[in-house]
């Protein structure tokens, strides 16, 4: 298993500044930040994410789950494995130390089986977030227009429905408001058929925070916050991925 001093420092202390995380990743020859690093950057930008720790061994994973609380989630951390669920690298609803220990062993075994050459840095440990309507906020750099933000329903729905809206960075408050209301599935966010409505104002502010974050860090090439759980009283980014410029 490879070591990752950046992720370990973040997971244990959370002391590294945004610029330090980006510089150290580039110095290590990496353009892709892992989930632990990505969430630390987002937290420093005022964006709400699940609490997260990097564990490089089974005992560390169990200790982190005890500290963060059950039920817990374990996800493989590897720059070579982007689609973690596809290889069985995500374990949900772990309710005890024994379950966390077994999940850790299973994740390591499946990684070795399906991606034997992958550099595995450990697992991320985080509390299980209460499910809600899933949305996505993404960013890509367009050659002509520069950073472009995307908003839509999240999870696998974004790939199936492709019901998304776009705006060029920087966003004004009106842009954020329009982006959310442009998608065809907007009634879902209003609480369609008794579903929990989303806090749309929080989602608007989230878009503005992401826009500001992207504008301040031009060395970020691509970003996905997917899914974001949209609650009636807030929103939480459950997964995050950030790719830097080469």
Give 205-220 pLDDT, tens digit per residue: 999 999 999 999 999 9
Q: Which of 169, 223, 234 is nearest to 31 (CA)?
A: 223
Please state the domain count of the chain. Answer: 2
Of the residues 95, 127, 159, the one at which a domain ends: 127
Is the pLDDT score of 11 beyond 90?
no
Of 107, 127, 147, the residue at which a domain comes to its end is 127
Mean pLDDT of 130-140: 95
Using the predicted structure, report yes or no on whether residue 14 has a pLDDT greater than 70.
no
Same domain, 139 and 236: yes
Q: Can you give the pLDDT at residue 182? A: 97
Write the DSSP symbol of residue 197. Answer: P
Do residues 92 and 160 both lie within one domain? no
Give yes or no: residues 71 and 178 share one domain: no
Query: Where residue 13 falls among pLDDT bands split at 50, 70, 90?
Result: very low
What's 146's domain CATH number?
3.30.470.20
- Continuous H helices in the chain: 5-12, 18-27, 35-44, 58-68, 97-114, 157-161, 173-182, 186-189, 200-216
Neighbours of 102 (CB within 10 A): 14
Tens of pLDDT, residue by residue over 138-187, are: 999 999 999 999 999 987 766 777 899 999 999 999 999 999 999 999 99
What span, in angstroms and rounded, lies between the C-alpha atoms of 43 and 95?
26
> Which is nearest to 223 in space by CA: 207, 203, 241?
241
Whether residues 54 and 90 fall in one domain: yes
What 3-state class would DSSP assign to 150?
strand
Q: What's the CA gap between 62 and 10, in Å, rounded? A: 18
So what's the pLDDT on residue 16? Answer: 66
**Average pLDDT, integer, range 14-23:** 74
Last residue of a domain, one of 127, 155, 179: 127
238 with 129: CB under 8 angstroms?
Answer: yes
CATH number of the domain at 75, please. Answer: 3.30.1490.20
Structure confidence by residue, pLDDT tens digits, 36-81: 999 999 999 999 999 999 999 999 999 999 999 999 999 999 988 8
Please indicate, yes or no, whether residues 93 and 143 belong to a single structural domain of this protein: no
Which residue segment(s) compose the domain that 169 sits in?
Answer: 133-244
């Amino acid at each position: 298993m490879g070591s990752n001093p950046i992720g370990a420092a973040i997971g244990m202390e959370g002391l590294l500044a945004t610029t330090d995380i980006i510089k150290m990743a580039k110095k290590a020859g990496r353009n892709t930040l892992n989930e632990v690093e990505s969430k630390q950057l987002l937290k420093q930008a005022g964006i709400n994410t699940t609490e997260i720790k990097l564990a490089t061994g089974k005992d560390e994973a169990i200790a982190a789950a005890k500290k963060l609380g059950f039920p817990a989630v374990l996800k493989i951390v590897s720059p070579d494995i982007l689609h973690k669920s596809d290889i069985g690298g995500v374990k949900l609803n772990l309710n005890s130390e024994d379950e966390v220990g077994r999940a850790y062993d299973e994740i390591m075994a499946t990684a070795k089986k399906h991606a034997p050459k992958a550099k595995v840095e450990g697992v991320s440990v985080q509390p299980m977030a209460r499910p809600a309507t899933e949305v996505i906020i993404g960013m890509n750099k367009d050659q002509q227009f520069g950073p472009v933000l995307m908003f839509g329903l999240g999870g696998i729905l974004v790939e199936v429905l492709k019901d998304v809206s776009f705006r060029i960075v920087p966003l004004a408050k009106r842009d954020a408001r329009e982006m959310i209301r442009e998608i065809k599935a907007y009634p879902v966010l209003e609480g369609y058929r008794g579903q929990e409505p989303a806090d749309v104002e929080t989602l608007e502010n989230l878009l503005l925070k992401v826009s500001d974050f992207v504008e301040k860090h031009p060395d970020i090439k691509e970003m996905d916050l997917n899914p974001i759980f949209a609650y009636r009283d807030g929103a939480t980014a459950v997964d995050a991925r950030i790719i830097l410029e080469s």
